[in-house]
């Protein structure tokens, strides 16, 4: 099932022993278009400090009730690395975060979550688990070498959904709308679709664009490019946020653009 990112805003995140806070923003990986962190405002109990909560920590969320239980304690959250969410989150920040919670790194693997397709299959090393320190050290060294090979610069790849809201969509023959929301897969936390508002062209019309159809993103100019013409986008199946998106609608949309469905891709 798919869920709107905007519907996640202000959702309650709870620890095993009490409330953590409410979702303020969501950070996604712009290389594989997957949600990596919820930015949570802790409110009164940590004086409004913003903390990162990974989907790895979450279990059996109530999407309709907007409540998300986490398998970590308030004390773990309190003592977690203090990362400035107003600045780009670097891989060094992430290493510090994952080391603290004892989670295996998701980068360097063959799937969007390390060697798995879903965040909850990543084996945690938090309190109560015996840590193989030698194996952990070897993993850190191996993944660090992979990162050095893949990235010649420290270009951040974690983006704020709120910051990307409003980016303009450029079709092959001109501008066609702007980003207004994202739809995420409830199991993998992958972003399946970007919701495009086309009201300046067609009143009240919303359409969906899959991330894999994007051919370029100009972050300074706040534009997203697709190799689709305006007419094909205009005639694509309309998105109605009041109706539950189904596999039948998936198929209709992908057939409209003559693309292979993401559900056929075992890596995602």
For residues 150 and 170, the model is more confident at 170
Q: What is the pLDDT, as a whole number, of residue 68?
A: 95
Q: What is the pLDDT, as a whole number, of residue 264?
A: 76
Residue 15's pLDDT band (cuts 50, 70, 90): very high
On whether both 19 and 117 belong to a single domain, the answer is: yes
What is the β-pairing status of strands 223-226 and 168-171?
Answer: parallel
On whether both 248 and 191 belong to a single domain, the answer is: yes
Q: Under 8 Å CB-to-CB from 50, ≥6 apart: which residues?
A: 24, 39, 40, 41, 42, 85
On whether both 119 and 26 belong to a single domain, the answer is: yes
Average pLDDT over residues 233-243: 90
Q: Which of the listed residues 138, 158, 178 is the one where a domain comes to its end?
A: 158
On whether both 144 and 178 belong to a single domain, the answer is: no
* 114 phi-psi bin (left φ>0, alpha ψ -120 to 50, beta other): left
CATH number of the domain that residue 65 is part of: 3.90.50.10
Query: Tens of pLDDT along 32-55?
Result: 999 999 999 999 899 889 999 999
On whether both 112 and 139 belong to a single domain, the answer is: yes
Average pLDDT over residues 191-208: 85
On whether both 19 and 136 belong to a single domain, the answer is: yes
Q: Is the pLDDT of residue 160 over 90?
A: yes
Residue with tokens 């305006």: 230
Averaged pLDDT score across all residues of the chain: 85
Cα–Cα distances (Å) from 260 to 78, 107, 212, 265, in that order, read 45, 26, 10, 9
On whether both 196 and 219 belong to a single domain, the answer is: yes
Q: Which of the listed residues 158, 180, 212 is the one where a domain comes to its end?
A: 158
Q: What pTM value is reported for the model?
A: 0.87
Question: In terms of residue numbers, what domain contains 40?
Answer: 2-158
On whether both 22 and 65 belong to a single domain, the answer is: yes
Q: What is the pLDDT, as a whole number, of residue 167?
A: 96
How far apart (Å, rounded) are the C-alpha atoms in residues 103 and 191?
22
Q: Which of the listed residues 129, 158, 187 is the one where a domain comes to its end?
A: 158
Average pLDDT over residues 102-116: 85
Q: What is the pLDDT, as a whole number, of residue 124?
A: 56
Q: What is the pLDDT, as a whole number, of residue 123?
A: 55
177-187 burial, b at 16+ Cβ within 10 Å, e below that, comes to bbbbbbbbbee
On whether both 201 and 111 belong to a single domain, the answer is: no
Q: What is the pLDDT, as a whole number, of residue 133?
A: 46
On whether both 142 and 201 belong to a single domain, the answer is: no
Query: Closest Cα partner for 119 from 54, 166, 167, 183?
Result: 54
Cα–Cα distances (Å) from 52 to 93, 109, 266, in that order, read 11, 22, 28
For residues 257 and 139, the model is more confident at 257
On whether both 98 and 23 belong to a single domain, the answer is: yes
Q: What is the pLDDT, as a whole number, of residue 265?
A: 64
CATH number of the domain that residue 241 is part of: 2.30.30.240
Rg from Cα positions in the chain: 19
Query: Tens of pLDDT along 240-268?
Result: 988 989 999 999 999 999 999 888 764 55
User: What percentage of residues in the chain have a pLDDT greater than 90?
Assistant: 60
Number of domains in the chain: 2
On whether both 174 and 149 belong to a single domain, the answer is: no
């Amino acid at each position: 099932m798919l869920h709107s990112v905007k519907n996640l805003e202000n959702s309650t995140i709870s620890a095993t022993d009490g409330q953590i806070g409410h979702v303020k923003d969501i950070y996604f990986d712009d290389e594989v278009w997957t949600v990596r962190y919820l930015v949570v405002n802790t409110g009164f109990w940590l004086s409004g400090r913003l903390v990162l909560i990974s989907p790895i920590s979450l279990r059996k969320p109530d999407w309709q009730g907007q409540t998300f239980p986490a398998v970590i304690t308030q004390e773990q959250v309190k003592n977690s690395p203090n990362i400035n969410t107003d600045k780009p989150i670097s891989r060094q920040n992430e290493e510090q975060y994952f080391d603290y919670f004892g989670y295996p790194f998701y980068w360097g693997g063959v799937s969007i979550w390390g060697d798995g397709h879903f965040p909850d299959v990543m084996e945690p090393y938090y309190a109560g688990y015996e840590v193989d320190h030698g194996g952990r050290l070897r993993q850190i060294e191996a993944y660090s070498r992979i990162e050095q090979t893949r990235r010649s610069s420290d270009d951040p790849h974690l983006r704020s959904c709120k910051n990307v809201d409003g980016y303009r969509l450029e079709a092959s023959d001109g501008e066609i709308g702007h980003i207004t929301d994202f739809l995420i897969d409830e199991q993998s936390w992958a972003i399946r679709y970007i919701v495009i508002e086309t009201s300046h062209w067609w009143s009240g019309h919303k359409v969906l664009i899959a991330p894999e159809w994007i051919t370029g993103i100009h972050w300074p100019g706040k534009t997203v490019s697709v190799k689709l013409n305006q007419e094909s986008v205009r005639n694509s199946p309309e998105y109605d946020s009041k109706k539950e998106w189904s596999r039948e609608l998936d198929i209709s949309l992908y057939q409209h653009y003559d693309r292979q469905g993401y559900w056929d891709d075992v890596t995602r």
